[in-house]
Structure formats: structure tokens, C-alpha cells
Structure 1
Amino acid sequence: MNRTVHFLTGIRSEYDILAPVIAAVDAQPDLDAKVIVTGAHLTGLHGHSVRQIEADGYHIAARIESLLASDGLGGRVKGMALQLAGLSDLFTREKPDFLVVMGDREEVMTGAVAAIYHHIPIVHIGGGDHADDGNVDNLVRHAVSKMAHLHMATTELSALRLRGLGEEPWRIHVTGASGLDRIMATPNLSRTDLEKALGVDWHGEPYAVLLYHPTITDFAEARAHMASITRVLETTGLNIAVMAPNSDPGNQAITLEINALIARYPKAKAFTFLERTVFINMLRHARVMVGNSSAGILEAPSMGLPVINIGIRQRGREHGDNVIFTDYDAGEIAAAVNKATTDEDFRTLVAQRRTPYGDGKAGQRIAEVLRTVELGRSLLDKKWIQGVK
């Protein structure tokens, strides 16, 4: 009998990282992949990105509406309650052999809670990762690691941290980051074809990709922080491709600043959603990526793309030689942009594409674990192992 694997996703960026794993599972004759869709995927405010999942042809097990029209902390918590209710209803009707969750967003927590009460093994991708940024994401990630039955760690250091949490070594698998699988599988577009897909006429001139998300610890200052970044980028004369922020509190304030940038700076263009091939090639052709997205940490090194990470988000995470960390000071940001775009020694270093996040074969490794691991009480009943000193 085939094993059924449910994947839970609530936002485009998360799905893009999960997609290679879903594809690898779906390719196995004895595994059946299904996708649970929730959160920002189901709203036009974030590009109605469920369309990408539909276009990829995967079976959607459930659509759980959970994103409230709120830019405050309470909306996210109330949305989690809706997710929990929807997931419990689904698992009552249909109990998969595994639930796969990725990273540290709220749906990872709700999925794990619902799964453990329905006795469904949890597979957590990205456990053991850590940033010294004080963000709630770290707390969610580590909490889910203690609930998870199988860990797909992206690096050896993350695996070491999981062992330090008392997890049994046989449950921990170092697979690499599946975002690299996605990059390797994405065909190249010429600069001309990319500009056509983006609907811009930049004549091959250099451009920056701006992708900045709110951080819960300082979300009230989100617009001011975004304004600090955009004002500096305007002075560079670069074209700017601006991606919409995630659905975290503060996203509406950032969107207001994006709209203001587009109105005053004709060399900028904003995008709510881009098809995967277009997004990857936009990064491939960019001169620099600016903001605080995990894509700058996980995927950009493998593309030789310089990244300026601004603010506290992502601080302390494992990263390649491509990342420059700055605060919101305009002079500091400007100096980093100058280094990233004109310093040939730095750009030569970045071009070596060194990354701690694997070789682009994470999906295959995860699928093999799900295909071969023994099911039953031995998987569900967790033991505490004295942590690594």
C-alpha cells in the first residue's frame, strides 16, 4: 500500500522551497503527495499563489482560509485558530502517513499540534536552524523540532543543534536545503526574455532586487525601516525590482512604502507574485539583492548573488560569503550597496558560490527517508537522548 504524504504550506516563498520535495515524493511509485493550502496562498492580496500549486498539478487535500485582514499581532494568532480547526477536520476525514512542514511560520506550529493529537508523524524541514534576531520564528522552529518525529536538517550545524535538544540521532537526516534543488531545476532565461516576462524595459542595465519583510519584534517601525532602504536605493540610480512582503504584522505598512516608491521613482517596479522560473531568473540576473529575506541566506549564495541583509532579521544564521549585514543607517546601507555592486574583490569571492546548504539533492534524500522509514509506534514514541555537550 502506498504511503500518503501531506505537505502544509501557507505562503508562496514556503511553497517554492517545498516544491522540489513534493516533486521528489510524487515521483516515487510507492508515495502519494498531497498539499494542504492555507494562509496567504488563498488571498489576492498576496497574488492568490495557490494558482502555482494548481499549475504544478498537485492534489490539493484541503484549502483552509485563515488569513485575516489585520496588520497587528492578534490577527496572526486568530488565524492560527482557524488553521487548527481546519486541519483537525481534515485529519478526521483523511489521515496521512506523514505531515511535512517547513521552517518556522505559524502553519508549521498549527500543523504540528494538529498532527500529534491525530497521531500523525511530523516531518520537519529546517529544524535546528537558528538566528540571533529575537524573532518569534526561532521559538516556533525549535518548538516544532521537539514535536517532530523526523528532522530534515539543512546543515551539519543544524543537525548538531537538534542532537543538543535531545533528539534521537536516527531521526535526524542532513539533506541540505531544498531551495537549491529548485534553482538547479529552473531553466535559464536570457536577460531579454526576463525583461519581457517582468514587463520592464531596462535595456540590460543593472538592477537590484528588494525583498524586505516585517519583523514582529519591531513591526511598528516597518514603514520607516522600508523608507530608509528605498531612499538609499534611489540615490544609486539602479533599477529596482520590488517584491511584496510576506503576511506578517507590518506588511501593510511596507506595502504603503512600496507604493510610494513606485510613485516617485520611475526606475522601480513592484511585483506581488512571480512565476517560479521568472523569480529565479530575476535573482540570477540581479546585481544585488537587498532586504532581509531568507532567500538571500539560503539560495542566493548558490547563484553568486551579493546580498545586503538589513536589520535584525536573519542575524546569526549560517550564511555564505555573499552576505553583508547592516543596520538601518543610510550611510551604512549605501556603503554596503557600493561594495556589493562595485568591489571586484568582493564580487569575485561571491562568484565562487560557496554555501553551507548542500548540493541541490535534498528532495531526493527526503523522499527516500519517507519511503523507507519504519512506521508505527517506534516512529511515534519519542525518547530523550542526553544532549551533545
Structure 2
Amino acid sequence: MKKLVYFLTGIRSEYDILAPVIEAVSATPELEAGVIVTGAHLTQIHENSVRQIENDGHRIVARIDSLLASDGLSGRVKGAALQLTGMSDLFARERPNFIVVMGDREESITGALAGVYHHIPVVHIGGGDHADDGNVDNPIRHAVSKIAHLHMATTPLSGQRLRALGEEDWRIHVVGASGLDRLFSTPQLGRNDLEAALGVDWNGAPYVVLLYHPTITDFDDAGVHIASITKVLEETRLHVAIMMPNSDPGNQAIVGELNSFAQRCGRVKLFRFLDRLVFVNMLRHANALVGNSSAGILEAPSLGLPVVNIGLRQRGREHAGNVIFTDYSREEIRNAIVKSVFDQAYREHASAVTNPYGDGTTGRKIAEILANTEVNKKLMHKNFLM
């Protein structure tokens, strides 16, 4: 009998990273994959990104509505409660052999809690990672690691942190970042084909991608912060492709400023959702990635893409030499963007960095580990190492 492996996802960016693992599990004879869909995937505000999961042909085992129309701190907590209720009902009806959660969003902690209380082994992708940004993501990620029964760490350093948390060596597997699987497997589009897919006519001119998310530590200032960034981008006269932010508190102020930016500047194109083929190639042809997305840390090094990371988010996180970190000073942001786009020596340096997050074979590694892992008392009984 095949082992059932359920994956939990609540937002497009998370699913893009999980997708190669789901595909690898589906292709493994001993395993069967299912997807629990929740959060932003099920809302028109985020273009109903569940359709990408449907188009990929994966079996959706549950749809849990949980995203509240709130831009404050309580909305995320109440949404997490809805996720817990939905998963508890699901697991009472059908029990997978594994529940897989990723990273540090609320889905990771709700999936881990629902799994452990239903005595289902929890598999955590991305545990042991850490940033010095003070964001809630870090304690959530480490809390999930203490609940999880198997760890799929992205780097050896993350594996060391998991051991420091008291996790047993045999539970820890260093597999790399699965987002790289997607990069290496996505076909190449030429610049003309990309512009046609994006609906722009930039004639091969330089452009940057802006991908900026709010953080809980300073969500009240999200509007001020994004305004500093858009002002600089407007002054540089570069073309700008913008992906809308995630659903975290503070996102409405960011969305409002981005819409205003697009209205007053003809060089700007806004996107709420892009097909994976188009999104990856948009990064491939970009001159720089600006903002604070984890894509700048995890995937951009493999593209040789310079990154300007603004604000606290991602600070202190393990990264390659293609990232310039700045605060919200317009002068500092401007200098970093100019260097990333126009300094040829720096661009050559960024194009030659080594990505510490693996080689694009993560999905296969995780599928093999799950296929060979016996669900027994040893797996479920967690010890703490001193």
C-alpha cells in the first residue's frame, strides 16, 4: 500500500517552492501525494492561485477558507484557528502517513500542530534557517522544528542549528532548497517572448523586479517604507515589474502605494499572479531583484541575479555574494540599485557566486527519504539531545 503524503500550502510563493517536492512524491511508486489548500490561494484578491495547483494536476484533498479581510494582527491569528479546525476535521476523516509543511508562515505551525495532535508524522522543509530581522517568522520556524519528526534542511548550517535545538541527527537531512528544482527545470523564454507574455513593450531595455512584503515588526510603517522604494525607482527611470505582496498585516498600504506608482509611472507593470514559466523567466532577464523576498536569498544566486534587499527582512540570513542589504534611506537604496544594474564589475561578480542552497535535486531527495522512512514508535517518540 502506498504511503499518503499530504502537503499544506496557503500562498503562491509557498506552493512554488513545494511544487517540485509534490511532483517528486507523485512520481515515486511507493508514495501518493495530496494537497491541502488554504489561505490566499482561495481568494480573488490573490487571483485564486489554487488554479495553478489544479493546472499542475495534483489531487486537492481539502480546501480550507482561512484568509480574513483584515490588515491587522488579529486576522492572521484567527485565520490560523480556521486552518486548525479544517485540518482537524480532515484528519478525523482520513489520515495521511506524513503531513509536510514548509518554512515559517502560519501554515507551517498550524499544519504541525494538527499533525502532531493527530499522531501523524510532521515533515518540516526549511527548518534551521534563521534571519536576524526580528520577524515572527523565525520563532515560528524554530517552534515547528521542535514539533516536527523529520527535518529537510536547506544547508549544512541549518542542520547544525537543528542539532543545537536538541534534534537527533538521524532526523535531520540536508537536501537543499526545492525552489532551485523549479528554476533548473523551467524552460527558457527569449526576451521578446517574455515581453509578449508580460504584456509590455520595453524593447529589451533594463528592468528590475520589485517584490516587497510587509513584516510584523514594522507593519505600521509599511506605507512609508514602500513609498521610499517607489520614489527611488521612479527617479532611476528604469522599467519595473512588480509582484503584489503577500497577505501579511500591512499589505493594504503597500498595495495602495503600488497601484498609485503604476498609475503615475508608465514604466511600471503590476502583477498579482504569473504563471511559473513567465515568473521564472522574468527573473532570468531582470537586471536586479529589489525588495525583501526570500527569492533573492534562495533562488537569485543560481540566476546570477543581483539583489537589493531593503529593510530588516532577510537580514543575517545565510546568503551568497549577490545581495546588497540597505535600510530605507533613499540614497542608500538608489546607490545599491545603480550598482546592481549598471556596475559591470559587480554584475560579473554576482553572476559567478555559488548558491549555498543546493543543486536543484531537492524534490527527489525528499521523496526518497519519505519512501524509505518507516512510521513507527521511534519516529514518533521525540527525544531532546543535550
State the TM bucket, normalised to the shorter chain. Answer: over 0.9
Partner residue in 2 for 1:126: 126
| Kept after mapping to 2: 8 A contact 1:241/1:268 | yes
SS in 2 for 1:316: coil
Question: 1:353 Cα deviation (Å)?
Answer: 3.7
One-letter amino acid of the counterpart of residue 308, structure 1:
V
1:179 aligns with 2:166: no
SS in 1 for 2:61: strand
Question: 1:346 Cα deviation (Å)?
Answer: 1.0
Partner residue in 1 for 2:210: 210
Number of corresponding residues: 386
Cα-to-partner distance string for 1:293-351 (whole Å, 9 max, x where unaligned): 00000000000000000000000000011100000000000110111011122111111
SS in 2 for 1:279: helix
Partner residue in 1 for 2:287: 287
One-letter amino acid of the counterpart of residue 4, structure 2:
T
- Unmatched runs of 5 consecutive residues or more in structure 1: none
**TM-score normalized by the length of structure 1:** 0.99
SS in 2 for 1:293: coil
**TM-score normalized by the length of structure 2:** 0.99
Cα-to-partner distance string for 1:326-385 (whole Å, 9 max, x where unaligned): 000000001101110111221111111411100000101100000001211111001111
Taking the aligned partners of 2:9 and 2:43, their CA distance within structure 1 comes to 14
Partner residue in 2 for 1:301: 301
SS in 1 for 2:36: strand
Alignment of 1:198-277 (within 5 A): 198-277=198-277
1:158 aligns with 2:158: yes
Taking the aligned partners of 1:377 and 1:43, their CA distance within structure 2 comes to 40
Taking the aligned partners of 1:43 and 1:305, their CA distance within structure 2 comes to 31
Taking the aligned partners of 2:136 and 2:255, their CA distance within structure 1 comes to 22
Any runs of at least 4 consecutive aligned residues in structure 1 with deviations exceeding 3 A, and if so which?
Answer: none
SS in 2 for 1:384: coil
Partner residue in 1 for 2:62: 62
Question: 1:158 Cα deviation (Å)?
Answer: 0.1
1:3 aligns with 2:3: yes
Partner residue in 1 for 2:332: 332
Partner residue in 2 for 1:83: 83
| Kept after mapping to 2: 8 A contact 1:21/1:366 | yes
SS in 1 for 2:84: helix
| Kept after mapping to 2: 8 A contact 1:40/1:67 | yes
SS in 1 for 2:96: coil
Partner residue in 2 for 1:192: 192
SS in 2 for 1:86: helix
Partner residue in 2 for 1:137: 137
Alignment of 1:360-375 (within 5 A): 360-375=360-375
Partner residue in 1 for 2:99: 99
Cα-to-partner distance string for 1:46-77 (whole Å, 9 max, x where unaligned): 11100000000000010000000000000000
SS in 1 for 2:210: strand
Partner residue in 2 for 1:21: 21
Taking the aligned partners of 2:317 and 2:356, their CA distance within structure 1 comes to 11
Partner residue in 2 for 1:313: 313
One-letter amino acid of the counterpart of residue 169, structure 2:
P
Partner residue in 1 for 2:346: 346
Cα-to-partner distance string for 1:166-202 (whole Å, 9 max, x where unaligned): 1000000000000000100100001011011101111
Partner residue in 1 for 2:376: 376
Cα-to-partner distance string for 1:118-170 (whole Å, 9 max, x where unaligned): 00000000000000000000010000000000000000000000000010000
Taking the aligned partners of 1:360 and 1:291, their CA distance within structure 2 comes to 24
One-letter amino acid of the counterpart of residue 41, structure 2:
H
Partner residue in 2 for 1:39: 39
Partner residue in 1 for 2:51: 51
Taking the aligned partners of 2:47 and 2:331, their CA distance within structure 1 comes to 34
| Kept after mapping to 2: 8 A contact 1:303/1:353 | no
| Kept after mapping to 2: 8 A contact 1:301/1:322 | yes
Taking the aligned partners of 1:165 and 1:288, their CA distance within structure 2 comes to 36
- Unmatched runs of 5 consecutive residues or more in structure 2: none
SS in 1 for 2:35: strand
Taking the aligned partners of 1:353 and 1:98, their CA distance within structure 2 comes to 36
SS in 1 for 2:367: helix
Taking the aligned partners of 2:194 and 2:153, their CA distance within structure 1 comes to 33
Taking the aligned partners of 1:191 and 1:93, their CA distance within structure 2 comes to 49
One-letter amino acid of the counterpart of residue 135, structure 1:
N
Taking the aligned partners of 2:247 and 2:326, their CA distance within structure 1 comes to 24
Taking the aligned partners of 1:30 and 1:110, their CA distance within structure 2 comes to 27
Taking the aligned partners of 2:354 and 2:236, their CA distance within structure 1 comes to 28
Taking the aligned partners of 2:287 and 2:344, their CA distance within structure 1 comes to 12
